[in-house]
Amino acid sequence: MISKLSRLVIENILKIICEKIIIRNILIVNKNNKINGIIEELYIKAESIIFNKIYISDIDIKISDLVLSLAFNYRKSFIENSYALINMRLTKDNINRTLSNKKWKRLKTSIESFISMSFQSVEIYNKSIHFISTDGLSKSNIDYILQYGKNSISLVNNINQEKLSIFNDKNICVKNLFLCESHIELEMVSKIIFN
């Protein structure tokens, strides 16, 4: 009963904070099985996600020592200062749909200024990012990679090594970033607070 209620609350929170999500699995691990507001481990698998106008192919989340309190009087749930280990996959379609959204227009404009051309889409191949210009041609002699720091991700020109910061958030620690043949894989640790 406790696990079913917690699962229902978590599903509802995910559906509220995401514009779209297909939840594949939620696993709750509580060895003592008591209602004390603490979930020892929570595993979430989901796909086809839109969160904050960011399109994500699939995601695996692991949260440890999650404090979940239900406020039935106010119809709110609270998740207090927890950290999540997140593994996500972004396809070229995810990236193109995200960058074409008006919320991310400033980022797209910054990238266009950095690469010195307007682009309609990106391609990912040979572990590099290639930009397809608005006239449908690719600057095939210039490719870009992604580099990550503790709290940031930068787009890097492979020829002159110039960098453009495209992500910087003190609440998110980037652990790994892999530019694969046709997609990007990210491993991050993120602080999560909902109230």
Reduced to 3 states, what is the DSSP secondary structure of residue 93? helix
Range scoring the smallest mean pLDDT among 34-48, 61-75, 93-107, 111-125:
61-75
Task: Render 19-31 in DSSP notation, one character per residue.
Answer: SEEEEEEEEEE-S
Q: Please, what is the Cα angle at 106 between 101 and 108, to 5 degrees?
A: 65
Contact status, residue 174 vs residue 85, Cβ threshold 8 Å: no
Task: Tell me which amino acid residue 189 is.
Answer: V
| Per-residue model confidence (pLDDT) at position 73 | 46
Tell me: the pLDDT tens digits for 29-81?
877 655 556 788 899 999 999 999 999 999 999 998 877 665 554 445 556 66
| Per-residue model confidence (pLDDT) at position 74 | 47
- Taking only Cα atoms into account, the Rg of the chain, rounded to an integer number of angstroms, comes to 19
Range scoring the smallest mean pLDDT among 8-17, 131-140, 170-179:
131-140
Stretch 173-186: mean pLDDT, rounded? 93
Range scoring the smallest mean pLDDT among 85-99, 100-114, 178-192:
178-192
Q: 0.95 cut: is pTM over it?
A: no
Stretch 86-114: mean pLDDT, rounded? 96
Task: Write down the mean pLDDT value for the chain.
Answer: 86
| Per-residue model confidence (pLDDT) at position 81 | 65
